[in-house]
Amino acid sequence: MEHHAEAAPSTIDTPVRTIDIPARDIGEITAAPMPAHRLEWENRLLDGDALQKIATEVDGPFHVMYPARIIENIQAFRTVFNNSGLTGSIYYGKKANKSPCVIAACLAAGAGVDVASVGELKSARAGGIAGADLMVTGPAKSDQLLVLAARENAVIAIDTAAELRRLATIDRSARIVLRVLPDGSSSRFGMTETELDDAVRLAARESIRLEGFSFHLGGYNAAARADQAAKLIEKCVAARDLGHPAATISIGGGFGVDYVPEDAWKTFCAQANPMWFHGCREPKVDSYYPYHFPVPGPGMLAAVLRHGNLTEKLRAAKIRLAVEPGRALLDGAGSTVFRIQGVKTRIAHGQPYDILTVNGSSLSLSEQWFDSEYLPDPVLWPKRPGDVTPTCVGGSTCLEEDMLSWRRIPFPRPATTEDLLIYPNTAGYQMDSNESPFHELPIPPKVVLRSSPDGRQFDWNLDTDDFAI
C-alpha cells in the first residue's frame, strides 16, 4: 500500500466546490448494531479486573486466548463423528492461528494438525503432535518439506503428479492422499481426472502408500461437500482394486462460524449504505464473511454427513472421513484488546461522530485488509452510563486506510483515553494473517487465560513455545 506525502500548498487560488448536504438525524449516520455472541468466559472477563491488569503489564495491544474453548470445539466435532458411528479424524488448520496454546489444546483433545510449511510442521511437532497425526497440504511443496513430512510419517496431500515423482525419489516410505480438483472448479489446486489417473499409477510403488483422496471447496455449502465426497468413494474403491489401501477422504475445512444474531446480520445486509461509514466508504456486503451462519461448525459437519446418506455410504465402504477446520475450532476462543489513545469529533451530514485512535493497527485485525470489514461490534470497556455515540476506529499508523472499523458503531457512551476496546472472537484468522511491525510498532503478544481455582476470575500468562495444558 502506498503512502503519499501531502502536496505542497498551491500559489494559485482555486475555487472550492461545495455541496449543500442537509443535516441528518444521528441514527442515519450510525450503523446498525452487530453485537457478537458472547460466551460465559467472555462475560467473566468483561465483569472482572483481569483486562485492566493485563493491559497495564503488557503496555500495548494484546490478544487474549482461552484454549479451554478450543478443546470444547474439538470435542463437539468428535461427538458428531461418534453419533454417526463413523470413523473420523480432525486436523486443525494451523494457518488460522499460530499460537502454541492452540497446538497444546489439540494435543490435549487428541486432534491432529494440518500444516503447509516446514515452520508449521516443526512448530506442531515441538508442541507434542505426533508426526503420524499431521496432514501436510499446500501446492508444489519444497523438497525440504517433502523429506521432513515423509520422515515424520505424516499424511502428505499431493497436488500434482510432478510432486509425487519428487516424493518417490526420496529414500523413505511416505503416506499420501491425492488432492482432487472438484468438478466445475477454477482453483489452481488439485488434479484433473487425467492427472489423477496418472498419479494413481505412479503411486504403485513400494515406498508410496496411497491412503485416499482429498479436496477443498470454497464457500460453505454442506451439500456440495457431501456430493464431492460421495464421488471420491468410487475412486477409493477403484484404487483398492489396484492394491492401494485408499480408506480416507478428506473434505478440508470451511466450516462456518456464527458471530452475530440472525436479525442483526439481516438488518445490516439490508440497510448498509455509505452514510454509515467514515468517508462515505461503499460497503461491499456481498464480499463480507457470512457473520451469521445458521448451522455452524459441528452442525455443518452433521449436515454434510446427512446429505445423500453420506454416512451410510462411507460406513459401507469402510472409509474414514477427515476434516481440516481452522476458524471453526477457534470459534469463541479469543479476543483482541486495544487501549484508546486518542479521540476526536468530526461532522458527517450535519451530525457529530467520534474517531478513535487505538494503540495498534488494523494489521492486527486481518479482515480489514481484504477490502472488507470485521463486523462483530467491539466492546467499550469498562461499562459506564452515557449516551449512544456513533464511533469509528482508526489505528496509530500514518496511513489513511489504517481503520479497524470504518463504520460508525453505536457505542453506548463516548469513549475516553482511559478505556479499552475489545474486538470479540478474533482467534480465527484475525490475529496472525497480516501482522506486521510496520512503523516498528510491537506485534501484539498473546495472553493465555485459565480459569482460576474458584472459577470466578482468571490466571494468565504470555503464550510461549513450551505452553502446555
Distance CA(412)–CA(387), nearest Å, equals 6
Q: What is the pLDDT of residue 26?
A: 87
Cell of 32: 446498525
| Residue 384: CB atoms within 10 Å | 12
Burial of 195 (0-12, 13-18, 19+ CB in 10 A): middle
d(CA 45, CA 102): 20
Distance CA 377, CA 256 (A): 19
Q: Is the pLDDT of residue 9 over 80?
A: no
Q: Give yes or no for a contact between 77 and 295, defined as CB atoms under 8 angstroms apart.
A: no
* Whether the predicted pLDDT of 274 surpasses 60: yes
The full DSSP string for 140-199 is: S--HHHHHHHHHTT-EEEE--HHHHHHHHTSSS-EEEEEEB--TT---SSSB-HHHHHHH
Q: Which of 306-310, 395-399, 435-439 has the lowest mean pLDDT?
A: 435-439
- 337: three-class secondary structure by DSSP: strand
Give ∠ CA 385-449-326 in degrees, rounded to 5. 100
Q: What is the mean pLDDT of residues 297-316?
A: 98
Report the distance separating Cα 15 and Cα 12, nearest Å.
Answer: 10
Write down the pLDDT at residue 420. Answer: 98
Calculate the alpha carbon distances from 380 to 332, 362, 413, 419, 422 in Å: 18, 17, 8, 7, 7
* pLDDT value at 192 more than 60: yes
Sign for the pseudo-dihedral over CA of 273, 277, 280, 282? negative
Handedness of CA 119, 124, 126, 132 (dihedral sign): negative
372 has a pLDDT exceeding 90 = no
Q: Write down the residue that cell numbers 499460530 correspond to.
A: 98
Under a CB-based contact definition with an 8 Å cutoff, are residues 115 and 135 in contact? yes
pLDDT band at 277 (very low <50, low <70, confident <90, very high): very high
pLDDT tens digit sequence for 194-210:
999 999 998 987 789 99
Percent of the chain with pLDDT over 70: 95
Q: Looking at residues 98-114, what average pLDDT do you find?
A: 98
For residue 24, what pLDDT is reported? 59
DSSP annotation string for 4-61: PPPPPPPSS--PPP--------GGGGSPPP-PPP--HHHHHHHHSSHHHHHHHHH-S-
Q: Which residue has the higher pLDDT, 221 or 8?
A: 221
From residue 213, how far is each of 196, 277, 400 by CA, in Å?
10, 45, 46
Q: What mean pLDDT is predicted for residues 10-20? A: 35
**What per-residue confidence (pLDDT) applies to 122?**
98
Q: Which residues contact 151 (CB under 8 A, 6 or more apart)?
A: 131, 172
| Structure confidence at residue 371 (pLDDT) | 76
% of residues, the chain, pLDDT over 90: 84
- E strand or H helix that includes residue 249: strand 248-250
Looking at every residue in the chain, the average pLDDT score rounds to: 92
- Does the pLDDT of residue 6 top 80, yes or no? no
Banded model confidence at residue 13, pLDDT cuts 50, 70, 90: very low
- For 273-416, strand residue ranges (E) read 320-323, 334-348, 351-358, 379-381, 389-394, 403-411
Does the structure show a pLDDT above 80 at 273? yes
Confidence of residue 4 (pLDDT cuts 50, 70, 90): very low
Query: Which comes out higher in pLDDT, residue 187 or 7?
Result: 187
Query: Which residue, 286, 258, 264, 277, is CA-closest to 409?
Result: 277
Which residue's entry shows cell 490435549? 108
Residue 407 has pLDDT above 80, yes or no: yes
Angle at 289 between CA 288 and CA 290, to 5 degrees: 110
Per-residue model confidence as pLDDT tens digits over 136-173: 999 999 999 999 999 999 999 999 999 999 999 998 99
Task: Please state, in angstroms and rounded to a whole number, the distance separating the CA atoms of residues 259 and 275.
Answer: 24
pLDDT the model gives residue 11: 31
Q: What is the mean predicted confidence (pLDDT) over 78-99? A: 97
Q: Residue 413: is it exposed, middle or buried by C-beta count within 10 angstroms (0-12/13-18/19+)?
A: middle
The answer to whether 469 and 104 are in contact (CB under 8 A) is yes
- Three cell numbers, residue 74: 474439538
Give pLDDT, residue 457. Answer: 85
- Please check whether residue 434 is in contact with residue 95, taking contact to mean a CB–CB distance below 8 angstroms: no
Helix then strand count (H, E) for the chain reads 12, 17
Q: Which conformational region is residue 105 in: left (phi greater than 0), alpha (psi within -120 to 50 degrees), or beta?
A: alpha
